[in-house]
Amino acid sequence: MITEPRLLLTVGEPSGIGPDICLQLASHALPTGVLLIGDLHCLRRRALTLGLSLRLEPWQEGDPWPVPENSVLHVLDVPLAQPCRPGHLDVANAPAVLATLDKAMHLLRAGAADALVTAPVHKGIINDAGIPFTGHTEYLADACDRPEVVMLLAGRGLRVALATTHLPLSKVAAAITREGLERTLRILHRALREDFALLRPRILVAGLNPHAGEGGHLGHEEQDIIAPVIAVLRGEGLRVSGPWPADTLFTPRLLEDADAVLTMYHDQGLPVLKYHAFGEAVNITLGLPIVRTSVDHGTALDVAGTGRAEGGSLLRALDVAAEIVRNRRAVAR
Binding residues for a divalent metal cation: 166, 211, 266
Q: Position 143: which residue type?
A: A
163: how many CB neighbours lie within 10 A of its CB?
Answer: 27
Cα–Cα distance, 250 to 94 (Å, whole number): 38
Cα–Cα distance, 116 to 5 (Å, whole number): 11
Beta-strand relationship, 7-10 and 115-118:
parallel
- Our measurement of the distance from residue 291's CA atom to the centroid of its chain's CA atoms, rounded to an integer in Å, reads 10
Cα–Cα distance, 8 to 33 (Å, whole number): 9
Cα–Cα distance, 332 to 326 (Å, whole number): 10
The closest alpha carbon to 37, from 62, 52, 56, 55, belongs to 56
Cα–Cα distance, 26 to 75 (Å, whole number): 12
Binding residues: 136-137, 166, 211, 266, 274, 283, 292
Q: What share of the chain is helix, strand, coil (3-state, %, to 5)?
A: 40, 20, 40
Cα–Cα distance, 166 to 141 (Å, whole number): 14
Please provide residue 44's backbone torsions phi and psi, each rounded to the nearest 5 degrees: -65, -40
Binding residues for substrate: 136-137, 274, 283, 292
